[in-house]
Homo-oligomer: A and B are copies of this chain.
Amino acid sequence: MRIVALAGGIGAARFLRGLRQVEPDSEITAIVNTGDDISLHGLRVCPDLDTVMYTLGGGISDERGWGRQDETFVVRSELDAYGVGPSWFGLGDRDLATHLVRTQMLDAGYPLSQVTAALCDRWSPGLRLLPMSDDRVETHVVTDVPGAGRQALHFQEWWIRYGAKLPAERFVGVGAEQAAPAPGVLEAIAAAEVLLFPPSNPVVSIGTILAIPGIREALRAADAPLVGVSPIVGGAPVRGMADACLAAIGVEVSAEGVGRHYGARRSTAGADGLLDAWLVDASDAGSTVPGVEVAVRPLLMPDVASAAALAQATLEVARALR
């Protein structure tokens, strides 16, 4: 089966690890957000691509959910000794090797999609990992920084340095409007038999991918059913700080709110959304999204087995729709 999922970082990576376990023979393509990418010390860092690659490739730190297991931070401590920031970004030594290889290939002229494929030669994630775009897109956050006034911070600075605690006025995908989907993205969506939104941040992960011209349209035009998994359980994000992002775009922090934000793809008059079905947790039973089948399933993924069960449940909902 040809399965295509849009993906942010940790939530998507864990969901995809479960999906690969239950669908070992399927051709799975993950279209990954690159709006969180950042250049640090001259190195190009792609947090979401790496989180998915490391998680599927067996290199992830399962405790943190991001970065490498058995990580060390020798280079970071030396950069601190030179007084060279930013010290708030946890740049590990193992992780750094990935960025070195990536940056050298990018500098040599390879597009990010080919670089990603080359990195995956080592990790064998068992699925095809595509950046949403080979063009540079960076999510910035317009916010008031105490003592510094209104600023557009790089998403990573807002997210990590300030813990998403500065109220976001809005998110700007710098470069998104001029970006093109990476080679293979639109083709994969068109050829998919199942389309999935794993439980990723609807604003700065899935939302950023959808901001690349052509991707939203391709999803709406595709034949395959599109099933989403709510990243909100019981009124709060399972991980991360999606609540702070949803507030900025005026969306209620609830499974129902996010489902309505994505909207119905086809079944209601004038539908211009994306979902055919929406999975919510038992604690959110009763959520309704006009024109969208809402299914109640256990959404928490404390381990690979529960992620596999969730992936299985998602596929079953999708199959019932076909």
- 9 A-B pairs, CB-CB below 8 angstroms? A42-B42, A74-B93, A74-B94, A74-B97, A75-B97, A78-B98, A79-B97, A79-B100, A84-B101
- CB-defined contacts of A101 to chain B, threshold 8 Å: 41, 79, 82, 84
Shortest C-beta distance, A243 to chain B (Å), equals 35
Question: How many copies of this kind of chain does the complex include?
Answer: 2
Interface size on A, residues (CB 8 A): 24
In chain A, positions 93-137 with a C-beta closer than 8 Å to chain B are 93-94, 96-98, 100-101, 103-104, 107, 119, 122
Q: A42's closest neighbor in chain B, by CB?
A: B104
CA distance A55 to B240 in the complex (A): 45
Contact B72 A42 (CB under 8 A): no
Q: What residues on B are CB-neighbors of A103 within 8 Å?
A: 42
User: Which B residues are in CB contact (< 8 Å) with A94?
Assistant: 74-75, 78
**A83 located at the interface, meaning its Cβ lies under 8 Å from any Cβ of chain B in the complex:** yes
In the complex, what's the smallest C-beta–C-beta distance from A29 to chain B, in angstroms? 23
Determine the chain B residues whose CB is within 8 A of the CB of A43 once the complex forms: 100
In the complex, A43 Cα to B96 Cα: how many Å? 13
CB distance from A106 to the nearest CB of B (A): 9
Choose one: B72, B81, B83, B119; the contact of A72 (CB below 8 Å): B72
Task: Give the residues in chain B near A107, CB-CB below 8 Å.
Answer: 42
Supposing A93-B93, A122-B83 touch, asked if A42 and B100 sit within 8 A by C-beta, the answer is yes
Closest to A76 in B: B97
In the bound assembly, the distance between CA atoms of A94 and B81 in angstroms comes to 10
User: Whole-angstrom distance between the alpha carbons of A222 and B97 in the complex?
Assistant: 48
Q: Which residues of the other chain, B, contact A122 by a CB distance below 8 angstroms?
A: 81-83
Complex A-B, nearest 5 residue pairs according to Cβ-Cβ distance, in ascending order: A78-B97, A74-B93, A42-B104, A41-B100, A75-B97
Quick one: which of A203-259 are within 8 Å of B by CB? none
- Chain B's closest residue to A80 (CB) is B97
The distance in angstroms between the C-alpha atoms of A98 and B119, with both chains bound, is 25
Bound form: Cα–Cα A97–B82 in Å: 9
Roughly how many angstroms separate A46 CA and B183 CA in the complex, as a whole number? 39
Residues of the B chain whose Cβ atoms lie less than 8 Å from the Cβ of A81:
97, 122
Closest to A68 in B: B78
User: CA A103 – CA B75 in complex, angstroms?
Assistant: 14
Closest B residue to A97 by beta carbon equals B78
A41 touches B72 (CB 8 A): no
Residues 64-88 of chain A, each 1 if its beta carbon lies under 8 Å from chain B, else 0: 0000000010110011011110000
A43–B103 alpha-carbon span in the complex (Å) = 10
Cα-based distance from A171 to B301 in the complex (angstroms): 62
